[in-house]
């Protein structure tokens, strides 16, 4: 894993370019990023502020209205690769750039036949309201979040973003013959509301449900979404992105624990936490995707 010098997000060191902004990963950056990724993210989990977004902008392309030829020329892809990207459809995060550079890139893309939507990076990095529990009613959800009660009503929802959360233990410092313990894949749902910038985040594995007709946390959360989503778009394209893992943050205080069943953190002979107790996931990658996707949807709504 490495840290992208352009956008500051974790990514797989095996990739030649950043998953988010397209910046190249040099050998030097890859080595430094791999060493710094875990400590830096751990510091952020402990309360250290993330680097300010400043005046950076995200440039997003709507693949539904982009021609294969324009994509090939603008993104320097082969016609075959551009065709695959175009057939995938949806929205594509092209670059993260400073304001002046973003303006120049928009003009370059326009000259090649592509229209880029600009989104302030800060808008894509809003923290969600993590849900502790709640109940479903007729056309409404009464939720308890870390910051207090929230009621979501039918018609409030602008966009639903959902996707799988990859989980694994940190690579062991010593090779083991058999890796028998693997954490289960997670799942997250974001309800983006029309009048609120911060989404409501729901984790079926940790949310404390009220009366659940379905008898399943995952099915109940899906029923919650159907109850209030109405005609709001449902985006599950996150599942197509290669996971960018980082140390998992603590679960919401007071919520059911998905990792509790794994038992207490194991320790090595020196008393330090064993590698198997350090859980990695890509929840921050999901939140970033969800954030910029909602920012795009808000701008589409204004244009319409």
User: Quick one: pLDDT band at residue 31, thresholds 50, 70, 90?
Assistant: very low
**Regarding predicted confidence, which is higher, 133 or 254?**
133
The reply to whether 27 falls in a domain is: yes
Residues 84 and 98 in one domain: yes
- Of 11-15, 141-145, 221-225, least confident by mean pLDDT is 11-15
pLDDT in tens, 64-107: 999 999 999 999 999 999 999 999 889 999 999 999 999 999 99
Residues forming beta bridges with residue 164, ordered by sequence position = 187
Q: Is residue 50 part of a domain?
A: no
Residues 75 and 187 in one domain: no
State the Cα–Cα distance between residues 200 and 140, nearest whole angstrom: 14
Q: Give the span between the Cα atoms of 156 and 142, in whole angstroms.
A: 13
257 CB neighbour count, 10 Å cutoff = 12
CA-CA distance, 31 to 10, in Å (whole number)? 13
**Do 27 and 162 share a structural domain?**
no
Residue in the structure block whose two tokens are 């996150």: 238
Statement to judge: residues 180 and 98 lie in one domain = no
Q: How far is it, in rounded angstroms, from Cα 94 to Cα 75? A: 8
Indicate if 176 and 36 belong to the same structural domain.
Answer: no
pLDDT digit string (tens) for 281-295? 999 999 999 999 999
> Do 297 and 161 belong together in one domain?
yes
Specify if 52 maps to a domain. no
* pLDDT single digits (tens) 177-192: 555 567 889 999 999 9
Rg (CA), the chain: 20
Residue 30 lies in a domain: yes
109 and 146, same domain (yes or no): no
Do 108 and 227 reside in the same domain of the chain? no
pTM equals 0.77
Residue 254: count other Cβ atoms within 10 Å of its Cβ: 11
Tokens of 123: 């808008």
- CATH number for the domain including 90? 3.30.1390
Angle between helices 68-75 and 79-88 (to 10 degrees): 120
Nearest Cα to 27, choosing from 11, 38, 16, 12? 16
First to last CA, the chain: 40
* Position with higher pLDDT, 41 vs 133: 133
DSSP label of 138? T
Domain count of the chain? Answer: 3
State the Cα–Cα distance between residues 32 and 10, nearest whole angstrom. Answer: 12
Residue 190 maps to a domain: yes
Shared-domain flag, residues 8 and 80: no
Which structural domain, as residue segments, surrounds residue 279? 129-303
Alpha carbons within 13 angstroms on the beta-carbon side of residue 161 total 28
Query: Minimal CA–CA distance to 265: which of 254, 273, 253?
Result: 273
78, 108, 124 — which closes off a domain?
124
Residue-wise over 132-141: b if at least 16 C-beta within 10 A, else e? bbbbbeeeeb
Same domain, 200 and 145: yes
Residues 103 and 39 in one domain: no
Query: Alpha carbon of 214 to those of 209, 210, 285: distances in Å?
Result: 11, 11, 30
Average pLDDT, the chain: 80
**Exposed e or buried b for every residue in 1-38, given b needs 16+ CB within 10 A?**
bbbbbbbbbbbbbeeeebbbbbbebeeebbeebeeebb
| Residues 278 and 173 both lie in one domain | yes
Model confidence band, residue 258 (pLDDT cutoffs 50, 70, 90): very low
**Dihedral angle of Cα 160, 167, 16, 37, to the nearest 10 degrees:** 110
Q: How far apart are CA 280 and CA 244, in angstroms?
A: 9
Structure-token match 């400073």, residue found? 98
């Amino acid at each position: 894993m490495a840290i992208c010098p352009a956008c500051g997000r974790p990514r797989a060191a095996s990739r030649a370019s950043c998953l988010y902004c397209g910046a190249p990963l040099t050998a030097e950056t890859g080595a430094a990023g791999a060493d710094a990724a875990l400590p830096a993210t751990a510091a952020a989990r402990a309360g250290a502020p993330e680097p300010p977004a400043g005046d950076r902008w995200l440039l997003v392309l709507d693949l539904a209205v982009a021609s294969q030829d324009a994509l090939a020329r603008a993104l320097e892809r082969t016609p075959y690769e551009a065709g695959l990207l175009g057939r995938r459809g949806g929205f594509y995060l092209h670059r993260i750039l400073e304001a002046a550079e973003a303006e120049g890139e928009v003009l370059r893309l326009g000259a090649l036949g592509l229209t880029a939507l600009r989104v302030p990076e800060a808008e894509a990095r809003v923290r969600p309201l993590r849900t502790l529990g709640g109940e479903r009613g007729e056309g409404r959800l009464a939720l308890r979040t870390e910051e207090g009660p929230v009621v979501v009503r039918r018609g409030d929802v602008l966009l639903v973003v959902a996707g799988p959360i990859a989980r694994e233990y940190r690579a062991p410092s010593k090779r083991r013959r058999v890796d028998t313990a693997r954490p289960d894949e997670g799942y997250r749902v974001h309800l983006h509301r029309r009048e609120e910038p911060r989404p409501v985040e729901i984790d079926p594995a940790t949310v404390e449900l009220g009366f659940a007709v379905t008898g399943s946390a995952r099915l109940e959360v899906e029923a919650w979404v159907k109850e209030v989503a109405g005609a709001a778009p449902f985006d599950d394209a996150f599942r197509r992105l290669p996971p960018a893992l980082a140390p998992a943050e603590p679960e919401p205080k007071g919520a059911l624990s998905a990792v509790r069943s794994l038992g207490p953190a194991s320790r090595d002979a020196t008393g330090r936490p064993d590698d198997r107790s350090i859980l990695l996931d890509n929840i921050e990658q999901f939140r970033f995707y969800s954030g910029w996707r909602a920012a795009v949807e808000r701008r589409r709504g204004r244009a319409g």
